[in-house]
Structure 1
Amino acid sequence: MSTANPRVRWLLRRGMKELDVVVTRYYEQHYPNVSEAEQATFVNLLETVEDPDIWSWVMDYSPVPAEYADVIERLRVHS
């Protein structure tokens, strides 16, 4: 899948600049090469989870729900 998906690009615009950087790096470096299931999980994360929760998981401040574990682990590489 191309990284030119405008819908997903819009979802990358978060309320926290730090999170913008992390999710954009993941999107550009991993999203095109991961499974459709992981792509769907990433999009679901962006659509349904609040920024403070995502940031807390990325920074390992709180436990990550199992459904997002793989995506959050990849996001941590870019934090």
Structure 2
Amino acid sequence: MSDAADARLGRLRWRARRGTRELDRLLGAWLDRRYAGADEALRADFDALLGEADPDLWDWLTGHLDPAPRYVAIVDEIRALDRV
């Protein structure tokens, strides 16, 4: 991986640390398992998802609320990893 890619991944990993163990685990799992193989559009959606408020993230990832349309694919992937 290039220095720029390493730096991007490091920034994403920092932003994925939300302060709650549950969100940290869900978001970190996607980074660890799927980020490297994801296409650029999905990576951009994950980056944008990290800009959302924690209560919204929690509700979307736990299925309490439907995610915003932009995030359906990434939220579905994160949920699927949690079932593995």
* TM-score in same-fold range (> 0.5): yes
Tell me the amino acid that sits aligned with residue 51 of structure 1. D
TM-score between the two structures when normalised by the length of structure 2: 0.83
Determine the structure 1 residue equivalent to 2:26: 22
Alignment length, in residue pairs?
Answer: 78
Partner Cα distance (2:31, 2:17) in 1: 12
In the alignment, does 2:55 pair up with 1:52?
yes
- Report the structure, 1 or 2, having the larger helix content: 2
Greater CA radius of gyration, 1 or 2? Answer: 2
Identity across the alignment (%): 32
Tell me the amino acid that sits aligned with residue 74 of structure 2. V
* Structure 2: 5+ residue stretches without partners: none
* Cα deviation code 1:6-35 (max 9, x no counterpart): 111111111211000000000010111111
The alignment yields a C-alpha RMSD, in angstroms, of: 1.7
